[in-house]
Amino acid sequence: MKKIGVLALQGDFELHIKMLETMGAPACEVRTPADLRTVGGLIIPGGETTTMDRLLRFSGLDKAVSRRFRNGTLPVYGTCMGMILTAREIEEYPELFCFGFIDMKVARNAYGRQVDSFEADVKMKLGNGANGKPFNAVFIRAPQVVELGAGVEVYARHNSLPILMSQGNCLAGSFHPELTDDSRVHKFFIDNFVEA
């Protein structure tokens, strides 16, 4: 199994690494373009978008991640802030960096402030036996999809809004699976996006 990197410039990267290790998947922190060269997939965790904007540009990972993704050698999974970064556009914040891996426009913190955080059981269409019981999705200052391109596949919705989707070699979700003990989404990313 290829090593999965977790972007570790800021945010809740430690919990993603713990989830991967619990699953038996090799994992490491990614802080530099050199770190990125050692991994077969990348998870971009939740965090603070404006801070990540500066850190990505400063570290050179903005260009390094884009280059590897676009040449087909780096599948990416973004959660919460990571989902924002995978979008083509951030509503009301055109100056913030985003990779544009998925044809969608997103709104930051659209579910409310930290005190508005909530959990919801959602049904997922993950296939390969990963369906079944609902997934307990944890939303913390979560983004919402405002526009979604026709080529984007949706795996889960909450109140009719897409919350887990993919396009090409990128998976993105507005919730935090690493805050649960349910590894189905991480497993789905590894099994369906990261080559063995």
Q: The CATH number of the domain where 120 resides is what?
A: 3.40.50.880
**Is 178 marked active-site?**
yes
Q: Are 182 and 137 in contact (CB under 8 A)?
A: no
**Is 80 marked active-site?**
yes
**Is 176 marked active-site?**
yes
pLDDT at 113: 63
CA–CA distances in Å: residue 81 to residues 1, 173, 191: 26, 9, 23
At residue 58 the predicted structure's pLDDT band, cuts being 50, 70 and 90, is very high
- How many domains, in total, are found in the chain? 1
Q: Which of 16, 80, 158, 186 is catalytic?
A: 80
Q: Which of 16, 98, 158, 178 is catalytic?
A: 178
| Domain of residue 16, residue span | 4-193
Distance CA 169, CA 146 (A): 21
Taking the CA atoms of the chain, what radius of gyration do you get in angstroms?
A: 15
Per-residue pLDDT tens over the stretch 7-37: 999 988 999 999 999 999 999 999 999 999 9
The enclosing H or E element of 68 equals: helix 61-70
Q: Which of 98, 158, 170, 176 is catalytic?
A: 176
At residue 128 the predicted structure's pLDDT band, cuts being 50, 70 and 90, is low
